[in-house]
Structure 1
Amino acid sequence: MASTSDPPKPIRVWITPPGPNPWKTIFLLEELNLNYEIKSFRFDDVKKVPFIKINPNGRVPAIEDPNTNLTLWESGAINQYLIEQYDTENRLSYDTLIEKNLCNQYLHFQMSGQGPYFGQCGWFQHLHPEKIQSAIDRYANEIKRVLSVLETVLSAKFTDEQWLVGNKMTYADMAFVPWNFRLSEVLLQSWDEVFDGTPRVRAWHEKMVELPSWKRAMEHRARLMDGQGLQWNGVPKGIENFTEYEEKIQKGEIKYD
């Protein structure tokens, strides 16, 4: 029998490397310095065995924690679990009533407001077989609206250390990084254009992408993407740009579920 002093067993994290959501969890695992192992597989297999037995919804990430015998999917639920189970010193969280619930509020805003709208914009911008400009415009406008909400929240802090809750970075702040990190690609805009009118959001984001934990996560991503024959933006190697990629999708040469 293992003793209580034995180090924790690695948490297995199931991911397909191109999308942002898996890196929300990897970022947190790195920042908490937890023992974990990545089970990386191709996006084509996300609705196939063995992963579909882990998550019947066929979406990544999912985790298996042998330390608690818990299998869990949905990135927000996973991150909340990691915080409650492993952030015992509240380095990235709070145990006070108001702050604890505000962190939960912003995590839910990320899951309901940021992720779906940003993802839909990316889909209609790059992956939908036909161009529907009204859909692209709708979701691009939602991106700007979400950024403006974050700008309002951060502007209300009146301090140099501007975080969503309290005076420190929490898991709620971190949850927004992976999708914001892809915005230039999603919107087909320069970073100056992406963050036009939201300077506090830009400063907040840029502080977090300079963290060693984020850089380590992106090193893992680059290695796994390369192993699957993918460029950093998810486009297969040998395809020069998104225009060529979109043409292949329209011709049915590349398909997405």
Structure 2
Amino acid sequence: MSHGKQFTIYMHYMAPNSWKVIFALNILGLTYEPSFLAFDDVKNPEHVRLNPNGRVPTLIDHKNGDFVVWESDAILLYLIDTYDPGHRLSVVDPKEKANLNQWLMFQASGQGPYFGQSTWFSHFHPEKLPSAIVRYQVEARRILGVLESVLSKQDYLVGGKLTVADIAFVPWNNIIRRVIGDEFDFQKEFPSTFAWHVKVADVDGVKKGLEERLKLIAEEEKKVQA
């Protein structure tokens, strides 16, 4: 079976983890076809055959034997290991590689789960559980505090340059008020992290992805209103 694009990415337009992969594909100049799944469809048998965890994103590399990778930060590592010879989003030094992996693990084990649980209990859980909301909002602030402690001393997380470690944090930080609350002042509470976020979000491939996300949200809102 021939494919016009190199990659197919199964994703949901509202799922933050999907967009970090889009950012990397854009920056690396790789062609892809998004396949949007409804949240109810991520567990369908066709998708689970590709991704046994039944979550998004899932990436298929058609030019590498239809190789399948899932878990968003694992996808980022695959992309830079395989398609970033010029190190646009990666580093060369072994110690810096370890630091890059460290930040990706922190994003995957810290930011994603805590921000996600805060969003769930604040907006989607069928009953209000104030203790859960407070717990995860406190943890979200703690994650931002870790970033602030580093970014107050340097411009990027690794190697003095933009890497996948930086772009991995953008999708969740981009919806931070939904995570912590409308009263949250990102710039005031974590000024260095805010400045870094704005800078990374303005990178062409990231900006393009964020604009596409907003476009898709607007289209879905029109469907609901119709």
After TM superposition, the score normalised by the length of structure 1 is 0.81
Give the gaps of 5 or more residues in structure 2: none
Higher helix share: 2
Check if 1:137 corresponds to 2:124.
Answer: no
Indicate the residue corresponding to 2:196 in structure 1. 204
Indicate the residue corresponding to 1:241 in structure 2. none
Indicate the residue corresponding to 2:6 in structure 1. 10
Q: For 1:167-193, what per-residue CA distance to the aligned partner results, in whole angstroms no more than 9, with x for missing partners? A: 1111101100000001112222246x2
Give the gaps of 5 or more residues in structure 1: 1-7, 239-257
Indicate the residue corresponding to 2:41 in structure 1. 45
Code of the aligned partner of 1:86: Y
Q: Secondary structure at the match of 2:128?
A: coil
Separation in structure 2 between the aligned mates of residue 140 and residue 64 of structure 1, nearest angstrom: 35
Larger radius of gyration: 1
Indicate the residue corresponding to 2:86 in structure 1. 89
Separation in structure 2 between the aligned mates of residue 199 and residue 56 of structure 1, nearest angstrom: 40
Instruction: Provide the aligned C-alpha RMSD in A.
Output: 1.9
Indicate the residue corresponding to 1:252 in structure 2. none
Indicate the residue corresponding to 2:124 in structure 1. 127
Of the candidates 142, 146, 150, which is equivalent to residue 147 of structure 2? Answer: 150
State the 1:226 CA deviation. 4.5
Indicate the residue corresponding to 2:208 in structure 1. 216
State the 1:10 CA deviation. 1.5
State the 1:230 CA deviation. 4.0
* Higher-RCO chain (CA-CA 8 Å, sequence separation at least 6): 2
Whether the 8 Å CA contact 2:11–2:58 is kept in 1: the answer is yes
- Number of residue pairs matched? 222
Whether the 8 Å CA contact 1:13–1:36 is kept in 2: the answer is yes
Q: For 1:49-80, what per-residue CA distance to the aligned partner results, in whole angstroms no more than 9, with x for missing partners? A: 32122212110000110111211110011010
Check if 1:167 corresponds to 2:173.
Answer: no
Whether the 8 Å CA contact 2:7–2:32 is kept in 1: the answer is yes
Separation in structure 1 between the aligned mates of residue 138 and residue 125 of structure 2, nearest angstrom: 18
Code of the aligned partner of 2:205: S
Indicate the residue corresponding to 2:57 in structure 1. 61
State the 1:154 CA deviation. 1.2
Separation in structure 1 between the aligned mates of residue 159 and residue 70 of structure 2, nearest angstrom: 28
- C-alpha spacing 1:53/1:223, structure 2 compared with 1 (3 Å): farther
Q: Could you tell which deviates more after superposition, 141-150 or 213-222? A: 213-222
Separation in structure 2 between the aligned mates of residue 210 and residue 128 of structure 1, nearest angstrom: 33
Q: For 1:219-242, what per-residue CA distance to the aligned partner results, in whole angstroms no more than 9, with x for missing partners? A: 332344455x347xxxx834xxxx
After TM superposition, the score normalised by the length of structure 2 is 0.92
Q: Could you tell which deviates more after superposition, 106-115 or 52-61? A: 52-61
Q: Secondary structure at the match of 1:152?
A: helix
